[in-house]
Amino acid sequence: MPYKSIENAADKYDVVVIGSGLGGLTTANRLANAGHRVLLTEHHHRLGGLATWFKRRGHIFDISLHGFPHGMIKTCRKYWNRAIMDSIVQLNNIVFDNPQFTIRTTFDKVDFTSILTNRFKVARASVDDFFNTVAGMNFYDDRTMTTRELFEQFFPGRSDVHRLLMEPISYANGSNFNDPAITYGIVFSNFMNKGVFTFSGGTDKLIEMMVEELEKNGVTICTNSRAERIVIDQGRVRGVEIDGRFIETACVVSNAGILNTIDDLAGRASFSAEFLEKIKPVQVNNSSCQVYMGIREGERLNDIGDLLFTSTAPAYDVDEMLDMETRSRTFSLYYPKTRPGHDRYTVVASMNARYDDWAGLPEERYQKEKEKMIERSLVDLERYIPDIRQKCDWLEAATPKTFQRYTLHTKGTSFGTKFEGLEVSRSLFNDVKGLFHVGSVGIIMSGWLGAINYGVIVANDADAYLRS
């Protein structure tokens, strides 16, 4: 795609959006659609942020297209276009396999209710009560209750039920039993309610369709263009320095991580002491590891499921899931149906991970640990596809360092910050006029759906500011 380099951008824009994750893309599109002159600047050569892909020897590997909630259908129709919405399809075959249970599910409320009552023998009244309670949770509710307390209230002592209901959410947004129940409620109601969906054609097709829409709306897109500094004077945004060039603007929407935005782009000196106090408790979420397996041309894989939540750990344990040698991983299977017209199969194993475990390793040990992770993933996958090694002609691994390098996010975070980051992100523009943040924060604003929806909210804020 022919993107501009920053030398070809104009000297002045109404808004500069820094970063092209799904949040940044959506904000840029909405603001351009509202009639503002928008520059979208991305440090990488490709748009999409974590919604990305790469090609190796004829294989196309999707990084974060494992599944998203039903809500994406409405969101894409309302805030992008009908063609994007029409490419969303359901994944019907979700598998859980661990020492506590093996089940296949369509990942919707009806099926979960049936599994909980028939298989796990939980009273129907408790199941209904749980679903009604989480569906009724909203942002303004009590935030002191933890997810652990929520589960103990409805399913006391049932570690198997806790695992079924928590493990997919831990993979989806890095949250765990210690996070506020409210975040669980909002995400669970979105995610484990009406099934899990994917984008037919892959991430590359989605981003291509989004770019068409951005171009139609007149957004100037610059890639390989890293924003170095947001220029702030007397509490107001004046412009952005991008690769040594100053672009004048009164409004910046940063899709860089919230802490990167404050520390690296705006600088702490731009904020009040009161605001800086608010930042202190902000914790970044965990990062990820992945193993990419390309299946040799001409080889086939039997349908063993679309998404497999597998573990040989005895029970759900968030520390075990983050361990470098975790025995818990999801396998995403990409059959040719995922990419119509592309007759290839790929498998991606995803694990949660801590940046600090990987970042300090000397190079030789780092490479060795990557190889060991590939090997562990193959051993696990052999339980479902015994001849997987013979079928693969490409194996590669990514670690938190990889995610940090491509997105620049603090500690390579995959899902932004914990809950307290949301208020910081939302109140940035109260402290510096014209400065907004969009992107994964607060657990509820992460994932493809969260990032796009947040993009709409922030576009509305920035639009109101520009019009005032």
Ligand X SMILES: Cc1cc2nc3c(=O)[nH]c(=O)nc-3n(C[C@H](O)[C@H](O)[C@H](O)COP(=O)(O)OP(=O)(O)OC[C@H]3O[C@@H](n4cnc5c(N)ncnc54)[C@H](O)[C@@H]3O)c2cc1C
Binding site for ligand X (CB under 6 A): 18-24, 41-44, 49-51, 63-64, 66-68, 226-227, 255-256, 260, 288, 290, 350, 403, 407-408, 414-415, 439-440, 446-449, 451
Min CB(46)–ligand X separation in Å: 8
- Of all residues in the shown chain, the one whose CB is closest to ligand X is 21
Whichever of 122 and 265 has its CB closer to ligand X, that residue is 265
Q: Find the shortest distance in angstroms from Cβ 130 to ligand X.
A: 23
Looking at the Cβ atoms of 24 and 305, the one nearer to ligand X is 24
10 Å Cβ neighbour count for 128? 13
Q: How far is the CB of 437 from ligand X (least distance, A)?
A: 10
Q: Which is nearer to ligand X, 19 or 185 (CB)?
A: 19
Minimum gap (Å) between residue 403 Cβ and ligand X: 6
Residues in the chain: 468
Q: How far is the CB of 288 from ligand X (least distance, A)?
A: 4
CB of residue 350 to ligand X, shortest distance in Å: 5
Closest contact distance (angstroms) between CB of 23 and ligand X is 3
Of the pair 70, 158, the CB lying nearest ligand X is at 70
CA distances from 181 to 157, 352, 426, 444 (A): 17, 20, 21, 11
Which residues 6+ apart lie within 8 Å of 449 measured at CB? 68, 69, 71, 72, 75, 190
Where do the DSSP E strands lie in 249-391?
252-254, 287-295, 307-311, 328-334, 346-353
101: β partners: 98
Residue that the structure tokens 């009604």 belong to: 132
- Of 21 and 239, nearer to ligand X (C-beta) is 21
Rounded to a whole number of angstroms, the minimum distance from the CB of residue 415 to ligand X is 6
Closer to ligand X at the Cβ: 358 or 403? 403
Residue 353 beta carbon to ligand X: minimum distance, rounded to whole angstroms: 9
- Residue 344: how many other CB atoms lie within 10 Å: 18
Residue 373: partners with Cβ closer than 8 Å, 6 or more residues away: 289, 291, 324, 351, 397, 399
Encoded tokens for 79:
């805030």
Nearer to ligand X, 100 or 414 (CB): 414
- What's the distance, CA 16 to chain centroid? 23
Phi and psi at 86, nearest 5°, equal -65, -15
Q: Closest CB to ligand X among 301 and 441?
A: 441
Using alpha carbons, list the distances in angstroms from residue 468 to 32, 234, 338, 461: 17, 18, 45, 11
Closer of 50 and 127 to ligand X (Cβ): 50
DSSP string for residues in 247-288: EE-S-EEE-S-HHHIIIIII-GGGS-HHHHHHHTT--B--EE
Phi, psi (degrees; rounded to nearest 5) at 46: -120, 150
Helix or strand holding residue 40 (H, E): strand 38-41
